[in-house]
């Protein structure tokens, strides 16, 4: 659903099925922003974030962490892993727009006919 919303706003979206693939896709695509879910198969979002942060080529890429865990301790672990922002699920789309604007400089909206 989030991917579809971002596409409707004019963003190019590349998705990964699991944490291992997320790392490979990030390295290959070098995106402007990564939206990382906490709960991923094979390798969770925390571990994937830590590994992505090891790549010099991805040093300037912002990672937005999504999680259903609202506890401050889990948030702290996510920031220690290397995320730049943390959004609770369910996602507040106005808050997401603010995050996108801070990290990408603008919120694109696709034209509708």
Tens-place pLDDT, residues 52-75: 999 999 999 999 999 999 899 999
Contact 64, 85 (CB under 8 A): yes
pLDDT of residue 107: 60
Q: Which fold has domain 2-104?
A: Rossmann fold (3.40.50)
Residue 81 tokens, joined: 């892993």
Structural domain boundaries of the chain?
Answer: 2-104
- Residue 75 has a pLDDT of 96
- Mean pLDDT value across residues 19-32: 97
Check residue 106 and give its pLDDT.
67
Quick one: DSSP state of residue 13?
-
Q: Which is nearest to 64 in space by CA: 94, 87, 98?
A: 87
Cβ(2)–Cβ(30) under 8 Å?
no
Determine phi and psi for 37, rounding to 5 degrees.
-80, 145
The values of phi and psi at residue 40, to 5°, are: -125, 150
């Amino acid at each position: 659903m989030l991917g579809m919303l971002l596409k409707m706003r004019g963003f190019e979206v590349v998705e990964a099925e699991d944490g291992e693939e997320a790392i490979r896709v990030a390295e290959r695509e070098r995106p402007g922003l990564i939206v990382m879910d906490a709960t991923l198969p094979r390798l969770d979002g925390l571990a994937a974030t830590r590994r992505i942060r090891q790549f010099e080529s991805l040093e300037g890429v912002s990672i937005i962490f999504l999680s259903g865990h609202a506890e401050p301790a889990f948030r702290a672990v996510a920031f220690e892993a290397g995320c730049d922002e943390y959004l609770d699920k369910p996602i507040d789309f106005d808050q997401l727009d603010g995050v996108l604007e801070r990290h990408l400089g603008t919120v694109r909206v696709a034209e509708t006919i």
